[in-house]
Amino acid sequence: MHFFQKFIDRHTLGVFFLLVAGMARADNTPPAAIDAGLVQSTRSIAGDLLGQLGQKLKAAMSTDGPVAAVSVCKESAPAIARQLSITNDAKVTRIGTRVRNQNMGVPNAWQKEALTQFEVRLSQGEKAPDIEYWQVADNGHGKSELRYAKAITVQPQCLSCHGAAQDIAAPLADKLRIEYPDDQATGYSVGQLRGAVVVTRPLP
C-alpha cells in the first residue's frame, strides 16, 4: 500500500476549513477529506499529554527525585493517555525510537515510518516542536481513521533517566533494571529524537 502523506504547516491551518488529506490508496480510492478542525484538535490532544506529563514529571523530580519520578512515567503517563483517550474518543499513546516499556512503547509500521521521517526532518534542521505527521488510512475494518504523531525530542531534564547508562546513578539504575529488564531507552543525548505522541481517531 502506498499512502501520500501531507504535512501541514500549523500556521496555515486556520486559513482552511477543509483540507484534503492527500492520501490516496494505490488502488485509486478517492482521497479522504478531513476537517482541519479535527487535525487541530488532535494536535491539542498530543500537546495536552506532553503538557500534563511534563508538569507532573517536573514536580516529582524536584520534590521526590528521579527514583520516585519513575512512577510518574510508569503510572501517570499511561493514566493521562487513557483519560485523554476516553475524553476524546481517541487512542493516545507514546512510542519510542528505542523503547523502555516493551508492552506500550513499540511503534507499529506506520509509526515507524513517522519516526524515520522525523529523524530526517530533524537532521535537516526542522525545529522539533513543528515536527508532526498525519495521514488518513483504513483502520483495518473498512473505516477511516486519522493517524497523528508528534515528535518528542530529548531535553536536558530527560537525561537522568534516558542519558548514557553509565551516568545513571545506582539507585535509579537499579530501579530501572528491575522495572524494565529489557530497557533500550538509554544512551540518548539532548536534541535527539526520543519518540512520538501518537493519537489515532476514528473518522465519521
Interface with ligand HEC (CB under 6 A) = 57, 66, 69-70, 73-74, 77-78, 94-96, 99-101, 104-105, 152, 154-155, 157-158, 160-162, 185, 194-195
Chain-centroid distance, C-alpha 190: 17
Cβ atoms within 10 Å, residue 158: 18
Cβ atoms within 10 Å, residue 140: 7
Which pairing describes strands 144-153 and 193-202: parallel, antiparallel, or unpaired? antiparallel
Place of cell 473518522: 203
Least Cβ distance, residue 110 to ligand HEC (angstroms): 17
Least Cβ distance, residue 125 to ligand HEC (angstroms): 20
Least Cβ distance, residue 196 to ligand HEC (angstroms): 7
In the complex with ligand HEC, the residue whose CB is nearer, 40 or 55, is 55
Least Cβ distance, residue 186 to ligand HEC (angstroms): 10
In the complex with ligand HEC, the residue whose CB is nearer, 105 or 118, is 105
| Whether 127 contacts 11, CB under 8 Å | no
In the complex with ligand HEC, the residue whose CB is nearer, 36 or 61, is 61
| Whether 151 contacts 186, CB under 8 Å | no
Least Cβ distance, residue 83 to ligand HEC (angstroms): 15
Euclidean distance between CA atoms 125 and 122, whole angstroms: 5
Number of H helices, E strands in the chain: 6, 6
| Whether 196 contacts 115, CB under 8 Å | yes
Euclidean distance between CA atoms 24 and 55, whole angstroms: 39
In the complex with ligand HEC, the residue whose CB is nearer, 20 or 104, is 104
Euclidean distance between CA atoms 199 and 204, whole angstroms: 16
In the complex with ligand HEC, the residue whose CB is nearer, 5 or 157, is 157
Least Cβ distance, residue 1 to ligand HEC (angstroms): 26
In the complex with ligand HEC, the residue whose CB is nearer, 14 or 51, is 51
